[in-house]
Amino acid sequence: MRALVTGATGLVGSHVCERLLADGWTVRALVREPARAARLAAAGVALARGDTTDDEAFARAAAGCDVVFHAAAAITPRGGWEAFRVPNVQGTAAAVAAARAAGARLLHVSSVAVYGGRARYESAGPVGEELAAAPLADEEHYARSKRESEALVLDAHRRGVAWATAIRPCVVYGRRDRQFVPRLARLLRFGVAPLVGG
């Protein structure tokens, strides 16, 4: 099996690459800066230079692949709505087009943010796919961009454009995390330690 992974230098994408390699897949990563992906190349990942918003580069990288794992996303950029929309929504549209052109399946890494900030925490029980998405405030740029990008993926599947699905992880942290753990570390410097689960 041959896979293309976006976001391969990030937390989720790097672990997807490792797992695919361990399972015997041939793995290619779409990367903006090959120098930042030296660890991936050393592990056996083929690097395709490009950006997720470059339709042609994305299509070239996906050519010959069986599955596209789309884990690239802007999580905390500065610059307002456009800073989220371009990489997340436009990048996902390019992922759909690239998967379609390659005849590949598409797995899009979405987020529980699509439910809305309060809905996922105020649910009476476990949050599942059946939970209705709450209205989003204008300033909830990340949530809006993930909701719109996920809608593109699911609509493409419904219309038969490509076999596509989305997963909705919650906070992801661990080795190579550049988002959650640094925030937690800043809190600890102030003597505050959140207790997860009590």
pLDDT, one tens digit per residue, over 52-78 is 999 999 999 999 999 999 999 998 888
Question: Is the pLDDT reported for residue 100 higher than 90?
Answer: yes
Q: What is residue 68's predicted lDDT score, i.e. its pLDDT?
A: 98
* Average pLDDT of the segment spanning 123-137: 74
* Average pLDDT of the segment spanning 41-47: 97
User: Exactly one of 115, 121, 142, 173 is catalytic; which is it?
Assistant: 142
The contacts of residue 132 (CB under 8 Å, 6+ apart) are: 119
**Pick the residue with more confidence: 100 or 190?**
100
Q: What is residue 122's predicted lDDT score, i.e. its pLDDT?
A: 66
* Number of continuous H segments (helices) and E segments (strands) in the chain: 8, 6
CA proximity to 153, closest of 2, 14, 1, 6: 6
Q: What is residue 32's predicted lDDT score, i.e. its pLDDT?
A: 94
Report the mean per-residue pLDDT for the chain: 91
**Pick the residue with more confidence: 85 or 135?**
85
pLDDT digits (tens, 9 = 90+) for 134-183: 888 889 999 999 999 999 999 999 999 999 999 999 888 788 887 777 87
Q: What is residue 179's predicted lDDT score, i.e. its pLDDT?
A: 78
Angstrom distance (rounded) from CA 162 to CA 96: 7
Q: What is residue 184's predicted lDDT score, i.e. its pLDDT?
A: 78
Angstrom distance (rounded) from CA 106 to CA 93: 11
Local confidence band at 85 (pLDDT 50, 70, 90 cut-offs):
very high
Is 142 one of the catalytic residues? yes
In this structure, what are the phi and psi dihedrals at residue 119, rounded to the nearest 5 degrees? -60, -40
Q: What is residue 192's predicted lDDT score, i.e. its pLDDT?
A: 74
Residues shown for the chain: 198
Q: What is residue 92's predicted lDDT score, i.e. its pLDDT?
A: 98
**Pick the residue with more confidence: 172 or 90?**
90
